[in-house]
Amino acid sequence: MKKTGSYIKYLLVGVFFAFWIFLGLKHFILRSLDLGPVAVYKKLTDLGGVDCIYVVSRDILIFSKTLNDRYEYAAFKVNGQAATHYFGPFYNSGESLLNIQKYNDAINVWAVNMELRLKNGNVDKSTFGDVGRKFKSILVSRANSISIGEDAYTLGNLSSEEREFIVQVYKNIKSQQ
């Protein structure tokens, strides 16, 4: 007759392997980027300006920055995949199983590729870089906010002027494609 301790040992080994199989298989489930409905997210800068992110469609984001009478905006083509959500606040947005991060209160976490397609403004030097610039980032959506990299923006109300602005920029982007 076997001792109870050996059954517990087999059970623990089984749970250990089941956990790693769960992590491994979960990593292969992919979802394409979907940022949700048209919305605006805003934040106040240290200098008193307003930075905004406009979610225009499932693949276009517009960033705008205003300070006094100065403004600039940039439109980005965005694509990416949902980070693998394991349980609770733990997500993996990387290439390996060891890239698990904690994102509290996240609804979705996306690993995104962004390409600057269009920019304009009346500033002396743009903060967005050159058209065609590409980079990767992590986008985290929460109930009333969105974060891109280290920058957090709060959900705001979309005014009629902002709607007209994003429609015009969207038309300009689509005419370039």
Domain boundaries of the chain, sorted by first residue: 1-30, 31-176
For the stretch 96-118, pLDDT in tens is 666 788 888 988 888 889 999 99
Cα–Cα distance measured from residue 48 to residue 135, given in angstroms and rounded to the nearest whole number? 27
pLDDT along the chain (177 residues), means of 10: 67 73 55 72 92 89 92 91 79 72 88 91 88 91 90 92 89 78
Residue 38's pLDDT is 84
Helix (H, G, I), strand (E, B) or coil at 153: strand
- Stated as kind and residue range, the H or E segment containing 78 is strand 70-82
Residue 1's pLDDT is 47
How confident is the prediction for the chain on average, in pLDDT? Answer: 83
Q: pTM for the whole thing?
A: 0.77
Structure tokens at 97: 């199983």
Name the β-bridge partners of 155.
Answer: 41
Residue 66's pLDDT is 92
Residue 96's pLDDT is 62
Cβ contacts of residue 104 below 8 Å, gap of 6+?
A: 89
Half-sphere exposure of 103 (CA within 13 A, CB side): 28
